[in-house]
Amino acid sequence: MNKKPTWRARLNYSFDNALSKGPLVLIGWLALAALILVVLATVVSLLVPGVAPDGTGLKEVFWDFLFQALTPNPFDVTSPLPFLFIMLVVTLGSLFMVSILIGTLTTGIGERLEQMRRGRSHVLENDHTIILGWSHQVFTIVEELVTANENRKNGAVIAILCERDKVDMENDLRSRVPNTKNTRVICRSGSPIDPTDLQIASPHTARAIIILPPEDGEPDSIVIKTILALTNNPNRRPEPYHIVTQISAARNQEVIRMLGNKDAINAVLTDDVIARVMAQTSHQSGLSVVYTELLNFSGDEIYFKEEQTLSGRTFADSLSVYEDSSVMGLQLADGSIKLNPPMNTRLSPGDKVIAMSADDDTIQLSGLEKHPIQSHLIRSSARRESQPAEKCLILGWNASAATIIRELDHYAPAGSTIMVVAEQSLQETILHSAATRNQKIEFCGGDTSDRALLNTLNIADFDHVLVLADTRLDIQSADARTLITLLHLRDIAEKDATPFSIVSEMLDLRNRELAEVVRVDDFIVSDHLISLLMSQLSENGALFDVFTDLFDSLGSEIYLKPAQEYVEIGSPVNFYTVMEAARQRGEIAIGYRIVSQLHNAAKSYGVITNPRKSVEVKFSLQDKIIVLAED
């Protein structure tokens, strides 16, 4: 039988419960104890004869004891001895309680400072961008958002919430993004899947929320849990959230759609996007640079603008109305996207042009009634001969590879071949990875960085070579392996006169500078490209349908075609003329590539998008025109 707790145990238990409520409760108890001590001293002094000094009443005695308790000072030694003794008791009691008070305040302040250091204080901002989670992508995203915020007069705020130490986050960001200009970056520690921790970042006042999946484990499940914590939070705002994230598995797209019935959720299917870009770039040298120019905030971006003066006119009429903005398509009044629609499409009220421009306020009508088209320099379109069967070599295998093969099948002529080189254990997986119509899949087992193996492949016989990153390794190890393979490929290419294009996937943008010595035709820095895309979507969610259409093999895509097919070579020609030559083919010219600058990083590897239309350029035989076209 349990013994009944003693009154002393109950008193200790009550005292412990009171202390557990925080320092404010302890301060209150100390104040009450001090008051009781002063009242008892006053009562004893007045009730016991001869204790209180002559001529003093209740008010004077009470205030003497109260001030002695608050600020112990020397007292009048001529007072009666009993009064001096009581005054001494009050002084000692007050010193004891003040010591406890100072200790409590010191502990409370220390805890508060520790809380601030750990990043647990709430973000009190409005119209800010939140990044939930942490990966190496965060640096690119922050850097891009800083650039995007430069034209905001009152500055901008980025709040990052993840399960890392606040100081460590700030140090890492400071080393990778040293200049945040007019953007403040706030770091907070907490779990993005915990609804309580989410409130620290103040999502109910944010303009956009970017969810970064972790770099290991099950990233898609963490993304889904984070979205649930946001959208099903009882403290959520009634207005829709603007959420941007990325997922790896296509099967999770439907789950994201179900979660987004009330909110605007743009989920980028990473493997699919990278696969499509890799497939397109393998046939269009320089395309990766074009996509980078379209996606970063340092150059031109894509905007929507309703131009009332174009209502009732054809889409063809809209192409040349801007001097320094390039029209790419239409956003119809119902919100649907049409890239490179038929030239005779008429614009209706509410329709918006989709234009590439330096900023949203630079999309201005040129005012020209007649455009300076040099008709004599336009070349008539020649019928293209059917392409012969192609041979493509894929070195390595990862989650994007099967989609790359499916995408390549859209571009390859009938009778083409794909040779995949990967570990022997993957043979069955690779041979049955994708159903192809125009290509036959072959397999070779081995190490893709083994020069002896590469020599046996007769690489010069292939038209295209794709080098995939080994995502099973850490980022730097995977890129190092890719670099070794590229060095071997370039050496083989230099010893053989037969040209073949090389497209390589890298994981860290910083390694691209190391790889430039290899002079590969294109680098797809996969995570960097996805980071750029997410940054764009966080600023304008309507771009999701634009990029989905742009990356799709169906409909219009970006192509780099020989300049000589459009205009006379060697003669100065303005871009109005180039655009007219493309329009006559049902295409939209949005830029060009100067091949002589192919390896010049300072000049964007020769890629110029959205040029001023009145500026004249002299093209050579190797130069390309960048167009939006169906094939």
Once rounded to an integer, what is the mean pLDDT over residues 575-588?
Answer: 94
**CA distance linking residue 160 with residue 123, whole number of Å:** 10
CATH architecture classification, 391-525: 3-Layer(aba) Sandwich (3.40)
3-state secondary structure 300-350: CEEEEECCHHHCCCEHHHHCCCECCCEEEEEECCCCCEEECCCCCCECCCC
pLDDT at 16: 58
Would the CATH topology of 15-117 be identical to that of 129-262?
no
pLDDT at 602: 78
pLDDT at 78: 57
CB 386 within 8 A of CB 413: yes
Cα R_g (the chain), whole angstroms = 36
Confidence of residue 57 (pLDDT cuts 50, 70, 90): low
Alpha-helix residue ranges (DSSP H) falling in 150-217: 166-176, 195-198
pLDDT at 153: 82
pLDDT at 3: 59
The Cβ-side half-sphere exposure at 130, using a 13 Å CA radius, reads 32
Q: Could you say which DSSP state residue 565 is in?
A: G
Phi (first) and psi of residue 542, to 5 degrees: -65, -15
**CA distance linking residue 593 with residue 13, whole number of Å:** 79
Indicate the domain borders of the chain: 15-117, 129-262, 391-525, 555-631
In DSSP terms, 208 is beta-bridged to 129
**CA distance linking residue 625 with residue 603, whole number of Å:** 16
CB 457 within 8 A of CB 444: yes
Distant-in-sequence contacts of 519-523, Cβ < 8 A, 24+ apart: 519/490, 519/599, 520/486, 520/489, 520/490, 521/285, 521/286, 522/281, 522/285, 522/286, 522/287, 522/288, 522/289, 523/288
Residue 116, pLDDT above cutoff 60:
no
The Cβ-side half-sphere exposure at 72, using a 13 Å CA radius, reads 14
Average predicted confidence (pLDDT) for the chain: 85
Query: Tokens 């001023």 — which residue?
Result: 612
CB neighbour list of residue 619: distance below 8 Å, 6 or more residues apart: 563, 564, 567, 569, 570, 573, 592
Q: Which CATH number fits domain 15-117: 3.40.50, 1.10.3430, 1.10.287, 3.90.660?
A: 1.10.287
**CA distance linking residue 259 with residue 617, whole number of Å:** 51
User: Which tens digits make up the pLDDT trace of 123-143?
Assistant: 889 999 999 999 999 999 999
Residues 71-97 as b or e (16 or more Cβ within 10 Å = b): ebeebeeebeeebbebbeebbebbeeb
**CA distance linking residue 325 with residue 148, whole number of Å:** 18
Residue 113, pLDDT above cutoff 60:
no
Confidence of residue 553 (pLDDT cuts 50, 70, 90): confident
Which CATH code fits 129-262? 3.40.50.720
pLDDT at 18: 60
Phi (first) and psi of residue 335, to 5 degrees: 95, -10
Confidence of residue 114 (pLDDT cuts 50, 70, 90): low
Show the tokens assigned to 502: 């090389």
Show the tokens assigned to 193: 């899947």
Residue 397, pLDDT above cutoff 80:
yes
Most confident of 39-48, 120-129, 308-317: 308-317
Show the tokens assigned to 335: 């919100």
CB 144 within 8 A of CB 180: no
**CA distance linking residue 276 with residue 552, whole number of Å:** 7
User: Which tens digits make up the pLDDT trace of 319-370?
Assistant: 999 999 999 999 999 989 999 999 999 999 999 999 999 888 889 998 887 8
Confidence of residue 1 (pLDDT cuts 50, 70, 90): very low
User: Which tens digits make up the pLDDT trace of 258-277?
Assistant: 887 788 899 999 988 988 88
Show the tokens assigned to 315: 């889409």
Quote the pTM value: 0.79
CB neighbour list of residue 317: distance below 8 Å, 6 or more residues apart: 310
- Geometric angle at alpha carbon 151, from 148 and 156, rounded to 5°: 70
Instruction: Give the dihedral of Cα atoms 346, 351, 357, 362; nearest 10 deg.
Output: 110
C-alpha 352 chain-centroid distance:
27
CB 616 within 8 A of CB 578: no
Confidence of residue 609 (pLDDT cuts 50, 70, 90): very high
Once rounded to an integer, what is the mean pLDDT over residues 563-578?
Answer: 94
